[in-house]
Amino acid sequence: MKVFVVDVARCNGCYNCQIACKDEHVDNDWAPYAKPQPDIGHFWLGIKETEHGQIPKVKIEYKPILCMHCAEAPCLKAANDNAVYRREDGLVLIDPVKAVGQKQLVEACPYGKIYWNEELQLPQKCTGCAHLLDQGLQPRCVEVCPTNVLRFGEEEEFKDLISQAEVLNPELGLNPRVYYLNLPKLFIGGEVYDSVADECLQGVTVTLTDAAGKTLTTQTDHFGDFWFRRLEPGVYSLKIEMDGCKPYELNSINLDKSLNVGAIALR
């Protein structure tokens, strides 16, 4: 069975994948695999861009999202007349003839990756570039990726990576065939300094405690900076301690977005 493996740690946000999808499918008719995609508005593969943090601790997260080619694909069930089918290699395709008028397919996808083509009255989505695969080529998004974020191949071949990977919205129980590595999640960061000496404080111990009482500890670096990365949303408390100083505490941090707690002066 074919799978996509997406390592977002190396995604530089160039959008090549999103553009190549359009280059392949807009104004090109690959029936019976797919009819042409409209010029704008469809993102069979789309980059989701998220801004994390506050100045000067800001990062941009880019996440390519495409049809998950789910093992339990809800679109398959929602389709009439077998308008959605699964190929032997596991890819889920929409039949562009049978699916005409079946707008319910757009609603059926919880990932929002089926788009409505108004002109053709047709639901459309990623085909895994099946028309190219069948000629021994790669999906376009994979081929144009400069940093090897997107990979495509046999599930078996990626076994090791998949064991460390996550899927999007696992709670839906759809067994997606697109696996993600290194999703950045959220961060808490800050800076510690000595306001009297006007110096960054290096080597200060910073402790983060989550609601279950689990702690993470780090030390500030040469800029006095500290970071806790890849955090799940939740309630946290933060403690900064240095010998001879009054500890600094920040409790009940309700983390739903990445947070820079700012520059903290120890006294």
- Which of 2, 4, 5, 16 forms a contact with another protein (CB under 8 A)? 16
- Which of 1, 54, 71, 181 forms a contact with another protein (CB under 8 A)? 54
Counting contacts by CB under 8 A, is residue 116 touching another protein?
A: no
Q: Are strands 248-255 and 234-241 parallel, antiparallel or unpaired?
A: antiparallel
**Close Cβ partners of 61 (under 8 Å, ≥ 6 residues apart):** 8, 49, 50, 51, 52, 184
Query: Whole-number minimum distance, CB 40 to another protein, in Å?
Result: 4
Query: Whole-number minimum distance, CB 75 to another protein, in Å?
Result: 18
- Which of 2, 57, 125, 151 forms a contact with another protein (CB under 8 A)? 57
| CB nearer to another protein: pick between 17 and 168 | 17
Residue window 131-170: x/- pattern of binding to another protein, with contact defined by CB under 8 A: xx-xx----x--xx-xx-----------------------
Cβ atoms of 261 and 189 closer than 8 Å: yes
Counting contacts by CB under 8 A, is residue 119 touching another protein?
A: no
**Spatial separation of the C-alpha atoms in residues 10 and 246, rounded to whole Å:** 40
Query: Burial level of 220, CB count in 10 A (0-12/13-18/19+)?
Result: buried
**Spatial separation of the C-alpha atoms in residues 148 and 150, rounded to whole Å:** 6
**Spatial separation of the C-alpha atoms in residues 37 and 126, rounded to whole Å:** 10
Counting contacts by CB under 8 A, is residue 267 touching another protein?
A: no
**Spatial separation of the C-alpha atoms in residues 19 and 140, rounded to whole Å:** 9
Using the rule CB under 8 A, give the single segment among 31-39, 110-118, 150-158, 240-248 that binds another protein: 31-39
Q: Are strands 178-181 and 2-7 parallel, antiparallel or unpaired?
A: parallel
How many of the chain's residues bind another protein (CB under 8 A)?
Answer: 53
Please report, as ranges, the residues that interact with another protein according to CB under 8 A: 10-16, 18-20, 22-24, 26, 28, 30-33, 39-41, 47, 49, 51, 53-60, 62, 131-132, 134-135, 140, 143-144, 146-147, 193-194, 198-200, 222-225, 263
